[in-house]
Amino acid sequence: MVDPDKLYKETEKAMKAAVEATRHEAAKIRTGRANVAILDGIDVDCYGSKSPIPHVANVTVPEPRTIVIQPYDKSVIKHIETAINKSDLGLTPNNDGTVIRLTLPELNEERRKELVKVVKKIGEEGKVSIRNHRHKANDQAKKAEKDGDIPQDEAKQLQDEVQEMTERFNTEIDKLLADKEEEIMNF
């Protein structure tokens, strides 16, 4: 038997996860402003295994367009530099022997517009995920109604609530995208 409250909560949790995944992916997009999230997904090959940069170094943003990476162990600095060079960041690490500095260049207008397109694509993927969760919840509600587990009016109410939730999370993604686009175009 389908519990409408449980189905609603599971759908809400899945939609929140979709929004967070979208937020996380959008944060990785490099703007003119330094953000340590651009280092997400870059693993350093050291100590016989791969580790994310924040696990082997202290990462700070002392200036709006500079990221400073200070390894906990100085012997790892070359490995961090190699990992950054192999990544698709397009940044050249400046290694002074104790810290690595990444300076983000100014973005030209054309590059900014390309980044906005990438952000919109990420947003659309997030919205598709939310719609898929809505579709799944609605299918379960319809099946429960057909099987006689819940009355028709309760199934309809659940579908309406899931639709409202979908619109709420889509609005949240729209705001996230607008903020990111503003950051890309104006910094």
pTM of the predicted model as reported, rounded to 2 decimal places: 0.72
**Residues 76 and 130 both lie in one domain:** no
CATH of the domain at 61: 3.30.1360.40
CA 137 to chain centre: 24
**Residues 21 and 47 both lie in one domain:** no
Residue with token string 């199934």:
155
Could you give the 3-state DSSP secondary structure of residue 48? Answer: coil
Cα–Cα distance, 49 to 67 (Å, whole number): 24
CATH of the domain at 158: 1.10.132.20
Mean pLDDT of 163-187: 92
Q: What percent of the chain has pLDDT over 90?
A: 49
Residue with token string 């587990």:
149
* Domain boundary, last residue among 61, 83, 103: 103
**Residues 23 and 44 both lie in one domain:** no
Cα–Cα distance, 36 to 42 (Å, whole number): 11
**Residues 127 and 177 both lie in one domain:** yes
Please check the confidence at residue 106 and state whether its pLDDT lies above 90.
Answer: no
Residue 90 has what pLDDT?
Answer: 77
Report the amino acid identity of residue 147.
Answer: D
* Structural domains of the chain, count: 2
**Residues 148 and 123 both lie in one domain:** yes
Mean pLDDT of the chain: 89
Each residue's pLDDT tens digit, 16-67: 999 999 998 888 786 767 788 888 888 998 888 898 999 999 999 998 889 9
* Domain boundary, last residue among 53, 69, 103: 103
Residue 27 has what pLDDT?
Answer: 83
Residue 104 has what pLDDT?
Answer: 83
**Residues 42 and 14 both lie in one domain:** no
**Residues 60 and 91 both lie in one domain:** yes
More confident residue, 125 or 113: 125
Max Cα distance, the chain (Å): 70
Please check the confidence at residue 117 and state whether its pLDDT lies above 80.
Answer: yes
- Nearby residues of 116 by Cβ (< 8 Å), 6 or more positions away: 181, 184, 185
* Domain boundary, last residue among 51, 85, 103: 103
Two structure tokens written together for 133: 């969760």
Two structure tokens written together for 95: 């290694």
**Residues 44 and 98 both lie in one domain:** yes
Range of the domain at 45: 36-103
Strand-pair partners of 66: 63, 103
Two structure tokens written together for 94: 């400046």
Residue 86 has what pLDDT?
Answer: 87
Residue 20 has what pLDDT?
Answer: 95
